[in-house]
Every structure is written in structure tokens, then in C-alpha cells.
Amino acid sequence: MKILNGAFCATVTPMTKDGERILPENIGPLFHYFSTSGLDGILLLGSTGEGASLSLEEKKVLIDEASSCRGGLKLILGCITTSMSELMELVQLGKKKNATALLIPPPFYYKSVPEEGIEKYFEYVLERSEVPILLYNIPSNTGISLSRGMLERLSRFDTLYGIKESSGKIQETSKYLLTKPKRILLGSDMNLLRGLELGVEGIISACANVVPELVVNIRKGYLSGKEVTILQKRLSEVRKALGQIPFLAGLKRWMKFRDIEVGGIRLPYYSLTKEEQDKILLIASKYNINSELHTSF
């Protein structure tokens, strides 16, 4: 059963301007924006949501608010921690709050641990979770690539739904698609169309924070047999442009341009310079007035 097929947004986390406090009251308007943009679901507390920078208590507050505001959106909870006790508390909370799935990276602080240790870590969680799990392959952040052999062995657990593949290398994506459980949500905006052609179930997109219509229309257009190459080109342009400035700060500034209030960011990320703010506003102006972002397939 393909419970996670679709276009998901890896949402930012609303915070005060200085990033010191979360703003759970802004989750409702944020989710309404995503829902009306046509997205199928949300990843809360992922990398784009600064999940590794939030306390367990902050995560609980955000999960509670998100579960009450989600409406018809599918909800994936990011479990970015190396603390097993915290991880299991999030797993139990995911069950209690009816999360669609959990996203779990390898224990990223322990890069020198043999693969057997990483596998046992995942086994422990998979044996105890009642919620479907996506393993998170993001070696640029964790320093750990999920091997195909380990994925094959872990596929004996019914709770392993698949992986979020964020290596950014489409060749790696194609290899994972040949590996049980053969279910992938892509983490690369620049590879969305190619991933759909290969057979991924969908995408968990950071750029969907600012151009959700574009992400939705690429997937819907492709599935309905439309020509969407030009839309993918524009999505890639958006991602490249955001890569020229501090990424998360750029996303949040662009969202303000769209009248979505999500505040600032938390250290070690930092705010944009005046020059960077001017640059992101120029980019936002270009893409937000483009009528093709709102094409309906």
C-alpha cells in the first residue's frame, strides 16, 4: 500500500525573529498554505525544519500542534537525534498522534561505528515501532551512507516503509529502487522529474516552502502525461538560486514575501545580509509572478 506517494513539503519551523523561541501558533496558517497549494503532506522536524536544533520539549509542542492542524495532510515526523531514549519517545508520540510515518536518520555522531552497529540501531526501532518508518539517507549531513545490503536485510521488518533518498545523486536513487523495499521519496528538488521517471513514489521538497505549486504541478503533470520539462528547469533554477545564499534563511525570507510568517532561524544558522535579502527578493519576484506555477493539471 502506497501510503506515502505524493508531494510533501519539508517544512521550516516557525520561530521568533532571533530564533530563540518556536511559534507553534503559526503552524496552523502554515499548514493551510501548504494544503491550499495542493501538497499531499508535510515532513515536520526534518533538516529544513532545524529538527537537530530543537529540544525534545519543543518537538513535543510542535508535534501536538501539527497533529491538530494537519487536516487532510499526511504527516511525517522527523526524528533527528542520536539519543535512543529521545528517539523512542518520538516513536511513541508518533503513534499517539497518528503520524503517517516517521523519518529516522542513522545515529550521525557515530560515523566510525561499524555498519553492524548502525543496523542494530535501526533494528531496535523497527522492532518496536507501530508507525511506518522511512530511513533517511543524507550522507552530506550524517557522514553515513545507507548500504543496499543493510536495506535489504532490514526489509524483513514490516515497519520499514522505505527511504528518503537525499544523496542528490540520481545514480544512487536508481540503485536503491532495485533494493527492497523499493519505495523511495526523493529529497532532491533538482532530480524530481528524473526520479519520477525512474519510479520514486514522490518527493519531500524543501523548495515546496516557497514554490509548492511548482513541485505539485511537476508531479501531477508527469503522472497525467503532460510535458513538464520546463517546470523542472524552473524548479532547478529556484534551488540553484537558493544555494547561492544561506539556504534556510533564504527560504524563510522568501516565505515572508509570500505573506507566510515563519520568523528567523536558530544558530548555527544566521540571518541574511542586506545584499542577500535583496537577492532573494529578486528571485522571489521572478518566480512568484510566473503564471505557470499555478497551472492546474
Q: What is the pLDDT of residue 291?
A: 39
Query: Which domains, from first to last, does the chain contain?
Result: 6-294 (3.20.20.70)
| Predicted TM-score (pTM) above 0.85 | yes
Residue 2: pLDDT band (50, 70, 90) is confident
Average pLDDT over residues 207-229: 96
| Structure confidence by residue, pLDDT tens digits, 76-94 | 999 999 999 999 999 999 9
Those residues with Cβ within 8 angstroms of residue 171's Cβ, 6 or more apart along the chain or in another chain? none
pLDDT, tens digit (0-9, with 9 covering 90-100), for 115-137: 999 999 999 999 999 999 999 99
Cell of 213: 505549486
| pLDDT confidence band for 267 (50 / 70 / 90) | very high
The pLDDT of residue 290? 46
Residue whose C-alpha cell reads 519510479 in the numeric block:
199
- Residue 292, pLDDT > 50, answer no
**How far are the Cα atoms of 133, 134, 183, 233, 242 from residue 130, in angstroms, in the given order?**
9, 13, 18, 39, 37
CA distance linking residue 166 with residue 200, whole number of Å: 12
